[in-house]
Structure 1
Amino acid sequence: MREMLNIQKQLLPDLIDTMKKRYTILHHIMVSGIVGRRTLAGSLNTTERIMRAEVDFLKAQGLLEVEASGIRISAAGRQLLESIEPLVKDLFGLTELEERIRSHFGLKQVVIVPGDSDTSPHTKKELGRAGAAVLLKHVSQDEVIAVTGGSTTAEVAYHLSSSNSLKGSWFVPARGGLGESLEFQANTIASTMAKKTGAKYRLLHVPDHLGEEAYQSLMQDSTILEIIQFIRKARIVVHGIGEAMVMARRRKVDAGTTSNLQQDGALAEAFGYYFDRGGKILHKMPTVGLRIEDIQEMDCVIGVAGGKSKGEAIASVLRFGQEDILVTDEAAAIEIVHLLTS
């Protein structure tokens, strides 16, 4: 298959370009659910005239359905996308990127989606879809699954669907998170994932970060302690990865700690821990929830993060060495590989 693809690239480059273009249109519509032609043309940086011709062609092939409310993918279109996904990864050069990152960091699996989440909302949605697919593939019944907050894990939640494999399972927040915007709080995401899949959930209503005295006080509360003990039963965690300074500002970390993090070369934040370039932990926020030793005992740690700006941060967390699966985008993956060779 790959040899034939290489021949086509040499002899029929226009055919490959057309295939990429039509795949991108179909894929964008699938992730969007339903979309207008003008919006679609704007999202893919083309003219309405060109988009109309492409949509008419794909509709004639039975791959799209055009309604008054917009364009949606047909069952045949969805099936086609699923069947050609491995081929498309080769077309975009993603298979090689996946293997380079997987082998370098010793991961079980790397999944890369085309694009850059920093500049494309569509890519971020696709990151969520890919993250949801990975989770459903690796979960089994009666699991406790911990999730962190953030916009990317919120996209994973949005793309989950009812699954027999999740019956009897529980979704829980990996840590307290009342400091985040409501839709990006770990509690909200855990409950959304449960409702989407038919699983159950438990919530942890405590602030995102605490002073030492407040932390110790909460840890004496029997109700809080019981929920924390339940959360620490989790064998799977789905988490985002943030840039250290961005997350420090968002979480209103005090000026002294922020300055120390900057001086020490903090690049990444995950689970409430800050990491330097080599994956060393520089600082732990006093948060209630999963500890690093809990992460180290997990059966499956799934990191979902993308965007060119996060390449260094993702590499930093990968060097910490506890990830099993990475779901990222093309722009972040290229940055990560560049760091490996620079």
Structure 2
Amino acid sequence: MQNLLKLQKQLVPDLLNDMERRYTILRSIRLTEPVGRRSLASMLDMTERVLRSEVELLKSLHLINFQKAGMHLTTNGRQLLTGLEDVMKDISGIHEIEKQVCSVLGIAETIIVPGDSDKLSLIKNEIGKACARQLERLLDEKNIIAVTGGSTMASVAEALADVDVMGKELLFVPARGGVGVKVSDQANSICAAMAENAGGNHRILYVPDEVSDVLRSTLLQEPSIQEVLSLIESADIVMHGIGEAMKMAERRNTGEEGMNKLKKGHAVGEAFGYYFNCEGKVVHKVSTIGLQLEELPQFKHVIAAAGGNSKAKAIRSYMKNAPKSTILVTDEGAAMEILKGE
């Protein structure tokens, strides 16, 4: 494939340019549908005249439809877009970037979606879809999936409505207690959404993410909590996000002493209640109930998801502690920044 693409670039470069442009238009419509021509032209930095010509062609090919509310993809358009993803990664060089990121981070696999979720928040939905496809690929007949909270995992839950898990037995369990005040982004809510969208079951962990040592000892004696913790330990797949240190500390309502500790330790990344500096050193850990960082290597599959240029330092810092078998799902913005830091 690579050799063919190189030859095509030399012989008919306009063909590949047209292909990339139309793929970008289709993908942008999928991200924002229903969308009007003016809004789409502005998003793509393209004149309305050029965009009009392109979308008329795509309509004639039955790849998009026009409605009063705006343009949207047809079933054929969605199928074509999915089929083109790997080809477009070769054309744009993203496959090569994925290999470079794996080498820099020392992990098994990296999946990169085009774009930067810091610049376009809808790219986070693409990360969610990519995670859902990875999960679909890794599933056995019976599965326990441990899931953390966060907006990226919430995107994964939404995307699971579009994957094929027919005949699979799925049990989603929260890997952590609740963090922050936004209920929809907490692990319990996300597990419930994943179970509903994938036709599986879920369990609830009725504990806050951060607790005192005394309360932790008491809660660990509760049979219902012990049952969920046992399920977490038996999980086949772990799916989790990676946070920016100071933002996660704010979500946890960390006190002045803890914030000073993070600042003094130059913390940049967070996962599972552990805060890391740029070298990957743990500079602070909160007392939590649920999956612990040192337990990760025991799991068969670990999928980490985070995107956006601003998350690059957090990803790099965490990956110095991550299992080598980790699959990272990220976006182009984070990936390019990760490589810059090398």
**TM-score scaled to structure 2, two decimals?**
0.92
**Paired residue total:** 340
For residue 223 of structure 1, report the CA deviation from its aligned partner: 2.1
Cα 1:258–1:328 change in 2 (3 A) is same
Where do 1:1-342 residues align within 5 Å? 1-10=1-10, 12-32=12-32, 34-161=34-161, 163-164=164-165, 167-322=168-323, 324-340=326-342
5+ residue gaps, structure 1, are none
For residue 169 of structure 1, report the CA deviation from its aligned partner: 1.5
For residue 178 of structure 1, report the CA deviation from its aligned partner: 4.8
For residue 31 of structure 1, report the CA deviation from its aligned partner: 3.8
Q: CA–CA distance in 2 between the matches of 1:86 and 1:228?
A: 38
Displacement over 6 Å in runs of 4+: none
For residue 173 of structure 1, report the CA deviation from its aligned partner: 1.0
Match for 1:215: what amino acid?
R
Q: Is the 8 A contact 2:177 2:205 kept in 1?
A: yes
Q: CA–CA distance in 2 between the matches of 1:287 and 1:36?
A: 47
Q: Is the 8 A contact 1:141 1:165 kept in 2?
A: no
Instruction: Specify the SS of the correspondent of 1:121.
Output: coil
Instruction: Specify the SS of the correspondent of 1:160.
Output: helix
For residue 306 of structure 1, report the CA deviation from its aligned partner: 0.6
Q: CA–CA distance in 1 between the matches of 2:204 and 2:112?
A: 31
Structure 1 vs Structure 2: percent identity of aligned residues? Answer: 44
5+ residue gaps, structure 2, are none
Which segment drifts farther, 19-28 or 9-18? 9-18
Match for 2:185: what amino acid?
F
Match for 2:335: what amino acid?
A
For residue 91 of structure 1, report the CA deviation from its aligned partner: 2.2
For residue 33 of structure 1, report the CA deviation from its aligned partner: 5.1
For residue 222 of structure 1, report the CA deviation from its aligned partner: 2.4
Q: Is the 8 A contact 1:139 1:165 kept in 2?
A: no
Q: CA–CA distance in 1 between the matches of 2:42 and 2:178?
A: 36
Deviations 1:28-55 (A, max 9, x none): 2234454333443343333444333221
Q: CA–CA distance in 2 between the matches of 1:126 and 1:33?
A: 14
Which segment drifts farther, 139-148 or 71-80? 71-80
Which segment drifts farther, 264-273 or 302-311? 264-273
Instruction: Specify the SS of the correspondent of 1:159.
Output: helix
Q: CA–CA distance in 2 between the matches of 1:92 and 1:247?
A: 34
